[in-house]
Structure 1
Amino acid sequence: MNSTGTANSPTQLLHGDNPFRVNPDADLLHGVPIDVPGWSETMFFHIWSPAQEVGVFIHCGRWPDDPDLWWAQVIAMLPDGRLLVDRSWGRAPDDRGPATGNLRVTCVEPLRAWRLTFDGAGEKTDLGRMATGASGAGPARAFAFDIDIEAAAPVWDMHGALGIHDLSWAALHHTQGFRAVGSLRAGAESWDIQGVAARDHSSGPRDVGRLGGLHFFVVVFPDTGRVANGLVNWRVDGTVDHRVFTVFGPAGAETGGDVHCTGLDDFRTHEPRQISLRMTTEDGPFELEGERLHGYTLTFLAPNENINGVARDTEHDALVITQSTVRVTAPDGDVGYGVFERDYRPSQLPSPEER
């Protein structure tokens, strides 16, 4: 398959419970090479409980100057658009997953199950305030969670299986959809978590100064177990490097190169909030129509530093990351929930057209 993806790209159907032949050891922490400049390793988790309208975001990675030191961005998404935002640091006790003083990520069973625990506090904020500067050190509120996630679909391997090896932000990239159960507490409030989750795991040289932007989504359909993944990646000059998607369903894992997503008008509001994720499968168009439910905004500084909030005064035209929890509906009426990430440099906006 052509890794750049075009409207005429054929699709490929793979079968089995590990269709991309992912080595289970790849889920564990990777050994740090001593001779690869800019090498990095990161993990991402996004959990959403539809009935309770709450969720959790985790993004953690190795600190470039000390790869055994992990940083973690942890955000609680609470009802009515409220956010609690934390940034913490620590060292992992083993290879089962990252850890900081507040956070522990544990691979319970490679390719299948993870446990996520947090006990700390976060700045009380919302989307509007996150757009005005860095977040995470203001007046805070205690929060904690204990969440188990179990695979709803196999691991999606963007590199070994799909032939994509030249991204500026990773040499290996895995993504997976899950079902989630657990609990979330914020101050005197508490919620049972019963919903969906997404994770990714990347490693390799990382320099986001060469990245113009990207669209990325993982959507899990709890009633059917269907999972849709997609990526559109472009350079600083706007040239699209890659388009790729995989839909996991009863027939197998169908991968193609024709995927387009709603663009971004304003990082401060995540507009437009009505979104489309359009893919072309062997059977024809597979279009997910949806809406934004919640979200948060981050900044990615070159070559590789992650900030909560929008830190525009730190680097000229820094890459702004908007991550939205979304609810989508498939053509057959199946309803899914997940994360839709739209990353743009402010000089590119407004850009609401599809990419």
Structure 2
Amino acid sequence: MAKHIFITKPGDRVRLDPVDEYNHPPEAVSNFNESAYYNIYDGKQKVGGWFRIGNRVNEGHAEVSICLYLPDGKVGFMYHRAQITSNAEHSAGGARFEIVEPFKRQRVTYSGKVAVLANPNDMLNPAKAFKENPILDCEVELDYNGLSPMYGGEHLNDDGSPIELDTKTAMARAHFEQHVAARGRIRVGEQSWQIDGLGLRDHSWGPRYWQNIYWYRWLPISLGRDFGAMIMTMGMRDGSVDCGGMVFTEGRYDLIVDARVRSEWDAQFHQTGLTAWCRTERGQEFEITGKVISLIPLRNRRVAEDGTALSTRITEAMTEYRCNGHVGYGLSEYLDQIENGVPVGMGIAAAR
């Protein structure tokens, strides 16, 4: 069994079936989440983004996020807390994700609005950002195709039974990812782009509070149609640290057995660049450098049962990656809990 559900390691017992592309019966916990996520970037046109729908049906709503990185450095962003009464599909807040063929083809659409931020750091104060920046019409129509095998799934005990989750640390019961390509159209206001890009998608289900992981650094990387990676490092409140992911080469995924991420920072502790290293189960070593193109800081807040106000910061940065002569793109997504007004990773060597 993996130490954390987001990370699959050699020897882990994992189950993943085509039916898992579709939504699952909600578990009898208030914080059950079923989320799907797609990112994409067209390196020639310098435009792309990511899209997420997280159904929290037992809480009566879905978290819907639309984030677009535009060629002029602006970021288009919208968040909806959309009412839902069923977990049957990912369709809320003007966004819709469809499974056309399991493990092979998906479709992502959105029809709604985005706030266009000339300074993405405006989102440090969301109410002010949405009030003071232009809100433009937005349409997204993207057809995704899988390039790689599948990574992850539902982690099982050695006897094949479901694992027992600790609701204080769980982020999901199951989680899978896949490198993808996508073509289609993105329109923001009067500007429109025909997209032909690369990216990564994921799908998770099970109990989730964003405050359950102390910090993580998640790097979904596309360096070509047949070369990519996902590198993750993470830590818990007890000081334990884990890492994992995969490298996509030769049409296969090789699982990562060791990894580290070292980052460069600005005055607000937002990543500006990084160097990631990993070693796979086959003994291959890769060093990947990243330079942030554009970053938007987001947050999640919750009040705990004892009345404590909890706050999580997630910095979402479109990043240019380089490895072994290849140039590509992807996200660098950094999550930190906020304690005493400070991201916890500032004081943790493995997180820096």
TM-score, length of structure 1 as denominator length: 0.81
How large is the Cα RMSD of the aligned pairs? 3.2
Displacement after TM superposition at 1:226 (Å): 1.9
CA drift of 1:354 comes to: 4.6
Residue of structure 2 in register with 1:310 after alignment: none
Tell me: CA distance 1:91–1:267, structure 2 relative to 1, closer, same or farther (3 Å): farther
Structure number with higher strand proportion: 2
* Partner in structure 2 of residue 57 of structure 1: 50
Q: Are 1:246 and 2:246 an aligned pair? A: yes
The aligned length equals 329
Q: How does 1:1-355 map to 2 (within 5 A)?
A: 3=3, 12=10, 22-33=16-27, 35-63=28-56, 65-67=58-60, 69-88=61-80, 89=82, 91=84, 95=88, 97-125=89-117, 126-134=119-127, 137-138=130-131, 139-157=134-152, 159-160=154-155, 168-223=170-225, 225-240=226-241, 242-250=242-250, 252-263=252-263, 265=265, 268=268, 270-271=270-271, 273-281=272-280, 282-302=282-302, 316=309, 318-331=311-324, 333-346=325-338, 347=342, 348-350=344-346, 354-355=350-351
Q: Given the superposition, is the C-alpha separation of residues 209 and 3 from structure 1 closer, same or farther in structure 2, using an over 3 Å criterion? A: closer
Q: What SS is found at the alignment partner of 1:80? A: coil
Paired-residue identity, %: 21
Checking the alignment, whether the CA contact within 8 Å between 1:92 and 1:99 is kept in structure 2 is no
Quote the Cα distance in structure 2 between the aligned partners of 1:277 and 1:123.
Answer: 32
Letter in 2 for 1:204: G
Q: Secondary structure of 1:318's partner?
A: strand
Equivalent residue of 2:91, what SS? coil
Give, in whole Å, the separation in 2 of the partners of 1:43 and 1:176: 12
**Structure 1 residue matching 2:72: 3-state secondary structure:** helix
By relative contact order (CA 8 Å, sep 6+), the higher-ranking structure is 1
CA distance, structure 1, for counterparts of residue 182 and residue 234 of structure 2 = 28
Contact 2:149–2:252, Cα closer than 8 Å, also in 1: no
Distance verdict in 2 for CA 1:213–1:24, change over 3 Å = same
**How has the CA–CA distance of structure 1 residues 205 and 352 changed in structure 2, closer, same or farther, with 3 Å as cutoff?**
closer
CA distance in 1, matches of 2:155, 2:274: 30
The verdict on how the C-alpha distance between 1:168 and 1:92 changes in structure 2, with shifts beyond 3 A counting, is: same
Per-residue CA deviations over 1:85-104 (Å, capped at 9, x if unaligned) read: 21232549994x41124111
- Range that drifts further, 341-350 or 54-63: 341-350
Q: Which amino acid aligns with 1:350?
A: M
Cα pair distance change 1:132/1:159, threshold 3 Å: same
Structure-2-length-normalised TM-score = 0.82
Quote the offset at 1:209 in angstroms: 3.0
1:232–1:162 CA distance, 2 compared to 1 (3 A): farther
Give 3-state SS (helix, strand or coil) of 1:58's partner: strand
